[in-house]
Copies of this chain bind each other. A is one copy, B any other.
Amino acid sequence: MGMKRIICAALGGVLITGTGAAIADEGMWTLDHLPVQQMQSAYGFTPSPQWIDLVQHAAVRLAEGCSGSFVSADGLVMTNHHCANSCLSQLSSTANYMQDGYAAKQEEPKCPEVELNQLEKITDVTDRVNAATQGKDGAERIKAERAIHSALEKECVGGDATTWRCDVVTLYHGGRYALYKYRRYQDVRLVFAPEQGIAFFGGDPDNFNFPRYDLDVTFFRAYIDGKPAKTPQYLKFNVHGPKEGELTFVVGNPGATQRETPWTSLAYLRDHILTPYYGYLSESRGQLWQYSRLGEQQIKEAQDALFGADNSLKVFKGWLETLSDENFIAKKQQEDAALRQWIAADGKRRAAYGDPWAMLEKAQQRGAELRDRYSMIESGRGFGSQLFADARLLVRGADERNKPDAVRLPNFRDANLPALQQALASTAPIYPQYEETRLAWTLEKMRQSLGADDSFVHEVLGTKSPDQLAHALVSGSKLADPTLRMQMWNGGAQAVAASNDPMILLARQIDPEARRLRKQYEDEVEAPSKKAAEMIARARFERDGTSRYPDATFTLRLSYGKVVGWNEKGTPVPPFTDVAGLYRRATDADPFKLPDSWLRAKSSLDLSTPMNFVTDNDIIGGNSGSPVIDREGHAVGLIFDGNIHSLGGDFTFDGSTNRAVAVDTAAIVEAVRKVYKLPRLAAELTNGHQ
Q: What residue in chain B is nearest A310 (Cβ atoms)?
A: B448
Q: What residue in chain B is nearest A586 (Cβ atoms)?
A: B463
Q: Does A501 contact B (CB under 8 A)?
A: no
Least Cβ–Cβ distance between A526 and chain B, in angstroms:
21
Q: Does A32 contact B (CB under 8 A)?
A: no
Residues of B within 8 A of A590 (CB): 465
Q: Does A182 contact B (CB under 8 A)?
A: no
Residues of B within 8 A of A205 (CB): 447-448, 451-452
Partner of A284, one of B202, B286, B589: B286
Partner of A291, one of B282, B290, B463: B290
Q: Does A70 contact B (CB under 8 A)?
A: no
Q: Are A452 and B283 in contact (CB under 8 A)?
A: no
Residues of B within 8 A of A463 (CB): 587-589, 592
Per the bound structure, the CA–CA distance linking A344 and B196 in Å amounts to 62
Per the bound structure, the CA–CA distance linking A468 and B592 in Å amounts to 13
Per the bound structure, the CA–CA distance linking A452 and B453 in Å amounts to 46
Contact indicator per residue, chain A 306-333, by CB within 8 Å of chain B (1) or not (0): 0000000100010010001000000000
Residues of B within 8 A of A320 (CB): 271, 275
Q: Does A441 contact B (CB under 8 A)?
A: yes
Per the bound structure, the CA–CA distance linking A592 and B320 in Å amounts to 37
Q: Are B286 and A437 in contact (CB under 8 A)?
A: no
Contact indicator per residue, chain A 258-299, by CB within 8 Å of chain B (1) or not (0): 000000000000110001101110111111111101000000
Contact indicator per residue, chain A 441-457, by CB within 8 Å of chain B (1) or not (0): 10010011001110000
Least Cβ–Cβ distance between A645 and chain B, in angstroms:
14
Chain A residues 525-573 with CB under 8 Å of chain B are none
| Residue of A284, A448, A452, A453 with most chain B CB atoms under a 10 A cut-off | A452
Residues of B within 8 A of A286 (CB): 282-290, 441
Q: What residue in chain B is nearest A587 (Cβ atoms)?
A: B463
Per the bound structure, the CA–CA distance linking A288 and B280 in Å amounts to 14
Per the bound structure, the CA–CA distance linking A97 and B113 in Å amounts to 50
Number of copies of this chain that the complex holds: 2
Least Cβ–Cβ distance between A644 and chain B, in angstroms:
9
Residues of B within 8 A of A403 (CB): none
Partner of A282, one of B270, B280, B293: B280
Q: Does A30 contact B (CB under 8 A)?
A: no
Partner of A324, one of B271, B280, B283, B451: B271
Residues of B within 8 A of A324 (CB): 270-271, 275
Per the bound structure, the CA–CA distance linking A324 and B320 in Å amounts to 13
Q: Are A592 and B437 in contact (CB under 8 A)?
A: no
Residues of B within 8 A of A202 (CB): 452
Per the bound structure, the CA–CA distance linking A447 and B320 in Å amounts to 20
Per the bound structure, the CA–CA distance linking A685 and B324 in Å amounts to 54
Q: Are B282 and A441 in contact (CB under 8 A)?
A: no
Q: What residue in chain B is nearest A465 (Cβ atoms)?
A: B589
- Report how many residues on chain A are interfacial, defined by Cβ distance under 8 Å: 44
Q: Does A657 contact B (CB under 8 A)?
A: no
Q: Does A464 contact B (CB under 8 A)?
A: yes
Q: Does A204 contact B (CB under 8 A)?
A: yes
Q: Are A437 and B290 in contact (CB under 8 A)?
A: yes
| Residue of A280, A324, A588, A590 with most chain B CB atoms under a 10 A cut-off | A324
Q: Does A206 contact B (CB under 8 A)?
A: yes
Per the bound structure, the CA–CA distance linking A303 and B465 in Å amounts to 18
Least Cβ–Cβ distance between A133 and chain B, in angstroms:
31
Partner of A283, one of B275, B285, B588: B285
Per the bound structure, the CA–CA distance linking A166 and B66 in Å amounts to 63
Chain A residues 191-221 with CB under 8 Å of chain B are 202, 204-206, 209
Least Cβ–Cβ distance between A447 and chain B, in angstroms:
5
Partner of A289, one of B271, B287, B452, B465: B287
Q: Are B441 and A289 in contact (CB under 8 A)?
A: yes
Residues of B within 8 A of A468 (CB): 589
Partner of A204, one of B283, B448, B453: B448
Q: What residue in chain B is nearest A592 (Cβ atoms)?
A: B452
Q: Are B278 and A452 in contact (CB under 8 A)?
A: no
Least Cβ–Cβ distance between A288 and chain B, in angstroms:
7
Residues of B within 8 A of A287 (CB): 286-287, 289-290
Residues of B within 8 A of A270 (CB): 324
Least Cβ–Cβ distance between A139 and chain B, in angstroms:
25
Q: What residue in chain B is nearest A462 (Cβ atoms)?
A: B587
Residues of B within 8 A of A209 (CB): 451-453
Least Cβ–Cβ distance between A484 and chain B, in angstroms:
29
Residues of B within 8 A of A317 (CB): 276, 279
Q: What residue in chain B is nearest A292 (Cβ atoms)?
A: B290
Q: What residue in chain B is nearest A361 (Cβ atoms)?
A: B326
Contact indicator per residue, chain A 97-117, by CB within 8 Å of chain B (1) or not (0): 000000000000000000000
Q: What residue in chain B is nearest A589 (Cβ atoms)?
A: B465
Residues of B within 8 A of A290 (CB): 286-291, 437, 441
Least Cβ–Cβ distance between A330 and chain B, in angstroms:
13
Residues of B within 8 A of A587 (CB): 463
Per the bound structure, the CA–CA distance linking A592 and B465 in Å amounts to 9
Residues of B within 8 A of A285 (CB): 283, 286
Per the bound structure, the CA–CA distance linking A313 and B444 in Å amounts to 14
Least Cβ–Cβ distance between A550 and chain B, in angstroms:
30
Q: What residue in chain B is nearest A289 (Cβ atoms)?
A: B287
Residues of B within 8 A of A206 (CB): 452
Per the bound structure, the CA–CA distance linking A204 and B271 in Å amounts to 23
Chosen A-B contacts, 18 in total, with CB atoms closer than 8 Å, are: A205-B451, A206-B452, A209-B452, A271-B320, A275-B320, A275-B324, A278-B279, A279-B279, A279-B313, A282-B286, A283-B289, A284-B286, A285-B286, A286-B286, A286-B287, A286-B288, A452-B592, A468-B589
- Per CB-CB distance, the 3 closest pairs between chain A and chain B, nearest first, are A286-B286, A205-B452, A290-B290
- Contacts A205-B447, A275-B275 aside, 20 further interface pairs with beta carbons under 8 A come to A202-B452, A204-B448, A205-B452, A209-B452, A275-B324, A276-B317, A278-B282, A279-B279, A282-B282, A282-B286, A284-B286, A286-B287, A286-B289, A286-B441, A289-B444, A290-B290, A463-B589, A463-B592, A465-B589, A468-B589
